């Protein structure tokens, strides 16, 4: 029982095998891709492993504090930002192996030519609550 984030990137991930941008797919291929994602989430719900799935707009702003009484400073978006997150799936699974298995399945979503994209997904474990029994001697 551990939660993992399966992270999709617009930019920053290694190149996928089937590397054709989505706007050059056929409409049917796009529909097939979306259907695959929806089915994947529905499947996770059935197995009792689904926690959350969200997509993010490709462009956002950078914001930071600018001192007492001043409005926050905004900047960007920057075209050169290397790591651009597209969305995520959060799963609650029995093992790390299961998280990897599911990420592999998600990465098989079809793209151009109806063939799997082989997209690289980042699998990140959540930092959970500390267990009750493990004492911390240090």
Partner 1 sequence: MDEALLRSLTPQVLAILVRRGADFAAAEDAVQDALVEAVRVWPADPPRDPRGWLVTVAWRRFLDAVRADAARRRREDLVDEEPGPGPTPSADDTLRLYFLCAHPSLTPSSAVALTLRAVGGLTTRQIAQAYLVPEATMAQRISRAKRTVSGVRLDRPGDVATVLRVLYLVFNEGYSGDVDLAAEAIRLTRQLAAAIDHPEVSGLLALMLLHHARRATRTAPDGSLVPLAEQDRGRWDTASIAEGVRILQAALACDRLGEFQAQAAVAALHADAPTAEETDWVQIVEWYDELTRLTDSPVARLNRAVAVGEADGPRAGLAALAALDDSLPRHTAVAAYLHERDGDLTTAARLYTEAARKAPNLAERDHLTRQAARLNTRADR
Interface ranges with partner 1 (CB under 8 A): 1, 3, 44-52, 92-94, 125, 127-138
Please report, for residues 34, 40, 42, 59, 123, the alpha-carbon distance to residue 46 in angstroms, rounded to integers and kept in the order given: 18, 10, 6, 33, 21
Whether the link from the prior residue into 77 is cis, omega within 30° of 0, is: yes
d(CA 10, CA 121): 11
Inter-residue contact 9 to 122 (CB < 8 Å): yes
Residue 64 or 138: which CB sits closer to partner 1?
138
Dihedral sign of CA atoms 91, 95, 98, 103 in order: positive
Residue 28 or 132: which CB sits closer to partner 1?
132
Residue 78 or 126: which CB sits closer to partner 1?
126
CB of 50 to partner 1, least distance (A): 5
CB of 6 to partner 1, least distance (A): 15
CB of 20 to partner 1, least distance (A): 34
Residue 9 or 98: which CB sits closer to partner 1?
98
Planar angle of CA 75, 77, 82, nearest 5 degrees: 120
CB of 3 to partner 1, least distance (A): 7
């Amino acid at each position: 029982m551990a939660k993992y984030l399966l992270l999709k990137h617009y930019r920053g991930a290694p190149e996928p095998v089937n590397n054709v941008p989505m706007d050059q797919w056929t409409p049917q291929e796009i529909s097939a891709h979306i259907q695959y994602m929806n089915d994947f989430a529905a499947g996770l719900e059935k197995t009792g492993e689904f926690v959350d799935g969200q997509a993010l707009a490709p462009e956002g702003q950078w914001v930071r504090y600018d001192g007492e009484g001043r409005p926050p400073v905004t900047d960007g978006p920057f075209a050169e930002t290397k790591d651009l997150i597209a969305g995520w799936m959060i799963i609650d699974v029995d093992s790390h192996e299961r998280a990897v298995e599911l990420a592999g399945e998600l990465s098989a979503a079809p793209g151009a030519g109806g063939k799997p994209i082989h997209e690289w997904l980042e699998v990140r474990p959540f930092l959970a609550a500390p267990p009750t029994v493990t004492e911390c001697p240090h």
